[in-house]
Structure 1
Amino acid sequence: MSSHTRPPQPGIRLHVDLDGDLRPHRSAKIEARLRVDVAADGAPTDLPAVQLAVIIAVDVAEPHRAAVRHALPTALRALPDRISFAVLGSGPEPVRCYPRGDDEWAVADRDERRRAAFVAGSLPLHREGPRPAGYAAWVAAARALLAGRPVSVRHLVLITDGSSAAGDTRLEEELDACAGQFTCDVFAVGTDWAPDPLLALAERLHGTAEFVDDGLGHAITAAIQRLRRVHTPRLPIEVTVRPSVRQVSLSEKAPRPHRLGRLPRPGRPHCWSFPTYQWEQGGRDYLLTLVADSDADPLETELQFAMVSVGDVHVPVTARWHLPGQSPHHAPAGADSVRSLNATAIMRDDLRRGLVALQEHRWDAARRYLGQAARLAVRFGADWVLDEIHAVADVEDAAAGRIRLRTVDAGALGPLILRAGSRPGGPPAEAVGARPGPRCRGCGTPAGSEARHCIACGEKLL
């Protein structure tokens, strides 16, 4: 996955909500909700297939061959013309089984699709013998292969039954190395896989993880079609902070929970870049968290703690330290927005924790977490959460969080846990458009439309 994007550039709108009245403290936490909307603005409907490189990796043991016997050839026959693709099979280490010979990549046309579908019928799978490598080996193989394909969108489709996950201790290290290199969708088959590493792959590599009981070929095809709807493969969100801010973090909350890594900007010690990926037309919600010291700041004065920049759009994050012992005259407009974002994240987490507790036969914990998730689901109208709870419990009073657990096969809980951790959330609230703001004439640093002084050099903006 590279930083290349295709013209024309998308239209971007950015809006910031936060609780602007803070209590002074040496390590005060400031939370802001960022809403970023991207519009196609004349870009073609589909990304040209020549700009995509996809690896289909089959991490499946021989007893589960039936799960991929027909699905994989079906997906290969449906590849769009001119897409770059490769197929990896299973062994003690990932094995490149198509294209064969010296070529690392195939470019889809009628003949390539036909040959690939034929080869897929004899795809090597895990057999008795040496223990297969873990998930780290699959993403490492994908990283090495994709490094030689500098196209706009680089993606791994990993099909797994969990047979190679045992003893995998290098996954976090390898995911750090893969950050920003490519994205990944995971399709789980069978019943012997653990949800946590699959969710880690999806979260860290900005994709999805889902259980597929039937229709695997269609699921792979749909994932590739979604890649073609990507208007902006990589869109960094930059955060420039005042010197009193000691910590900065940014996480995507909707439509899917993703942990974002931050990159320093050379020569700009107070600026951080958070790359995001695979932007289709639409919006996303992020939670920006700052930890700031108040020792040298004035009280009851509007201060700019950060500048958020997406493309040429810049919005300030402003707040004030409130006098100790006093309350603001009114509730800040952004406080409810931030609380709602946090509560929605808690709802997802409670649902997942409850299902995991149920899988581990910790009944009291399962009842507590699922009850809390039900109560929040009523508050936010998240019917899908209630549907998931109904699969494992009788909901006596959702608003009060009262449920009665049912006897459930622990092996059937894996798909529910995957959905709780990777399923898209509901549509976020409508955003207010933000227009590009001014720049400091002295140092050129961008400023929000309401800013009065430069965050970098302190000069008054004209």
Structure 2
Amino acid sequence: MAKLSKSNLPSFAVEVFQNEYLPEGAVEVNAIATVTATGGGTSGGRPLADGPDAAVVIMVDCSGSMDYPPTKMRAAREATAAAIDTLRDGVAFAVVAGSHEAREVYPGDGRLAVADDSTRATAKQALRRLTTGGGTAIGTWLRKADSLFLSRRDISIRHGILLTDGRNEHEKPEVLGQTLDAVSGHFTCDCRGVGTDWTVAELRRISTALLGSVDIVADPAGLADDFRAMMETAMGKGVADVGLRVWTPQNATVVFVKQVAPTVIDLTDRRTEAGPRAGDYPTGSWGDESRDFHLCVRVPAAAVGNEMLAARISLVLPQPDGSTEVLAQGLAKAVWTDDLASSTRMSPQVAHYTGQAELTESIQQGLAAHRDGDLDLATAQLGKAVRLAQASGNEGTFKLLQKVVDVVDAKEGTVRFRKHVSEADEMTLETRSTKTVRVKK
């Protein structure tokens, strides 16, 4: 393990888990990189440094559907107020009302307020201007948030919270895609769907592009607690724009890079070149936390007795002068052997997260098949998901699966679809399908 730190940043460490031994002729190297950040975020609710070290924009759906039932809009106001109360002094913030357009609710004039007792109180009074009407065009909300963040270029930690109850019906998918391309890398964003009339894939597309989370709040009464928890997490971030840099030797190529804990996020297509044989993959903002990444590299085949460095994995932070600071580093190796026991042994970490990725895929494919009316495929995929969840100890996902299928034999993956499955239970399973459990020590 290698560790580099700086007094005003979290201290990062990278630990690599793999079986570096390969049989003769093998070309694929798999490794799990556990990245841990400590000493960042906040201490007792106090910022690391004086002044606004973070900015938050809360985007609240105010389309006409938010008034059905009226408790939905009331809960959204209460949740936004709870989030505002959680802002620590010195954080820049704004509230945006979203419909087929985006309207600044507080503070207005394209600015961000700075949180203190006075601005928090005024902002909560302004929430009375969150009134319903119009359609839904989420791209306009994101562009408004982006323009607000750009008004304070001196702030590096930028975080959005987006709440919606419906589909993005007043904007073409390609327009939303163009917006995500335009704002990606400018801020992170947590997305929440309230009720069951929104689309999981749509919000996951946004949260993935903006390196945030997505979840369902089926009952509006749970919004305030969820918003408060999201804001507390945002307030714990200590550094933004951290990249995972992967260097590979000549004639070696990266097959994929995925975050596999606490959720599965495929970062492979997010690579930006970073010099000869190196590429950076975005990881967003960090506080005191640990994440796991699965790296797969294809190397040239070699004879028994040869060994090589397959990849150098670094955490890097961009600097104002265009350079990058290396925060931590780890190595993945390849050693060719004719010892069968060594070359066939699978790293427990690699095996575990390969199974967790399969679990995510099985749930999503099973629910998609169910929507398409293919009950046989849906049952087979969700049965596989039950088997994988039970084997890996993913109790949270196992319990969600039990609300959708009756488990006959968990070990064999034998299940039957339940006769009466609520839409909320099915959407909850789909939304949380990417959540994983850490490998058991």
Short-chain TM bin: 0.7 to 0.9
The one-letter amino acid of 1:183's match is T
**Cα pair 1:73 1:121 within 8 Å, conserved:** no
Residues 87-106 of structure 1 correspond to what in structure 2 (within 5 A)?
Answer: 87-100=95-108, 102-106=109-113
RMSD: 2.7
Alignment pair present for 1:215 and 2:242:
no
Q: Distance in 1 between matches of 2:364 and 2:17?
A: 29
Aligned mates of 1:173, 1:215 — CA distance in 2: 32
Match of 1:178 among 183, 196, 201: 183
The residue aligned with 1:136 is 139
Where structure 1 has 5 or more consecutive residues not aligned to the other structure, the ranges are 431-462
Partner of 2:322: none
CA distance, structure 1, for counterparts of residue 87 and residue 277 of structure 2: 45
Aligned to 1:199: 204
State the distance in 1 between where 2:122 and 2:20 align: 59
The equivalent of 1:419 in structure 2 is 432
The 1-side partners of 2:157 and 2:169 are apart by 27
* Bigger proportion of residues as helix: 2
Q: Which residue of 2 aligns with 1:387?
A: 399
Residues 107 and 291 (structure 1), Cα distance of their counterparts in 2 relative to 1, 3 Å cut: same
Quote the residue 2:273 is aligned against: 264
Q: SS where residue 177 of structure 2 aligns?
A: helix
Relative distance call for 1:350 and 1:371 in structure 2 (3 A) is: same
Contact conserved, 1:89 with 1:125, CA < 8 A, in 2?
Answer: no
TM-score (norm. length: structure 2): 0.84
Shift, 1:159, TM fit: 0.5
Query: Is the contact between residue 251 and residue 259 of structure 1 (CA under 8 Å) also seen in structure 2?
Result: yes
Counterpart of 2:149 in structure 1 is: 146
1:360-412 superposed Cα distances (whole Å, 9 cap, x missing partner): 43211211111001111121111112211110121111001011111235633
Question: Residues 182-331 of structure 1: matches in 2 within 5 Å?
Answer: 182-212=187-217, 213=219, 214-260=221-267, 261-265=270-274, 268-294=275-301, 299-310=304-315, 311-321=326-336, 328-331=340-343
Of 387, 390, 396, the match for 1:378:
390
What corresponds to 2:38 in structure 1?
39
Give the distance between the partners of 2:261 and 2:106, measured in 1 at CA: 36
State whether structure 2 residue 79 is matched by structure 1 residue 79: no
Q: Deviations over 1:246-298 (max 9, x none)?
A: 34532100011223222222xx221112231232323211111223343xx55
Deviation of 1:418 after TM superposition, in Å, equals: 0.8
8 Å Cα contact 1:59-1:163 kept in structure 2: no
Q: Secondary structure at the match of 1:330?
A: helix
Q: Say if 1:7 and 1:43, in contact at 8 Å, map to a contact too.
A: no
TM-score (norm. length: structure 1): 0.81
Q: CA deviation at 1:205?
A: 1.7
Unaligned stretches of 5+ residues in structure 2:
1-5, 316-325
- Give % identity: 25
**Deviation larger for 239-248 or 389-398:** 239-248
2:139 counterpart letter in structure 1? A
Specify the structure having the higher radius of gyration (Cα). 1
Letter in 2 for 1:249: F
Tell me the SS of whatever aligns to 1:275.
strand
Is the CA contact 1:209–1:418 (under 8 Å) kept in the aligned structure 2? yes
1:98: Cα distance to partner?
1.4
Question: How many equivalent residue pairs?
Answer: 410
Separation (CA, whole Å) in 2 of partners of 1:293 and 1:13? 25
Which has a greater percent of strand?
A: 2
Show CA shifts across 1:139-180 (max 9, x none): 232222212323232111001012434532233343333332
